[in-house]
Structure 1
Amino acid sequence: MNQYQTRSEESWLKHMAMIMLAQLFLNQEKIVHYEKEKLWLTTQDVLQTIKSSLHFVKRTIEDLLDYILSKQPPDKRLVRNSLYLRM
């Protein structure tokens, strides 16, 4: 943050507020997925999920879900059916 250059203090404050809101959103998504499905998601997983659902990337939701579940401990892979039902 110390190398971010702005022309006014107001624009710096707006930028920091947007960064904090984005981080809050990402952290809430991680918490919600852990509480509901016991899935450990990284920030990159959340971003890829958003991009896939908005069709910004060619990866389908199913492929992304398989990738995320492959990183989980073995007993967490059983939640796949409940995730598909919610989507």
Structure 2
Amino acid sequence: MSSDGGGLVALLALGPASATALYWTLFRYYRNTDKSHAFERETAVATKAVTGNDRRLHTVTGTEQKRIAGDNVQDHRKRVKKMPPDAGPA
């Protein structure tokens, strides 16, 4: 029997052990689960009663008004403006 058998097994076990340690270290570093702020438990939210009114201003029923007053759908030159030749895309 060889005397290097124990060293070889330890070397082979070192790979998965170091990978596990690296994973756990990175997980703890980026997650910070022990240092994070628990919003639900540590924050007091004060609420107030909802106030307001539902006053009706103007009603359009059915298809009485088929167009929006002041639209510029038909006048495309008013809607689309030509860019100067030296101006690039915004």
Q: Tell me if TM exceeds 0.5.
A: no
- Say which structure is richer in helix: 1
TM-score, normalised by the number of residues in structure 2: 0.31
Larger radius of gyration: 2
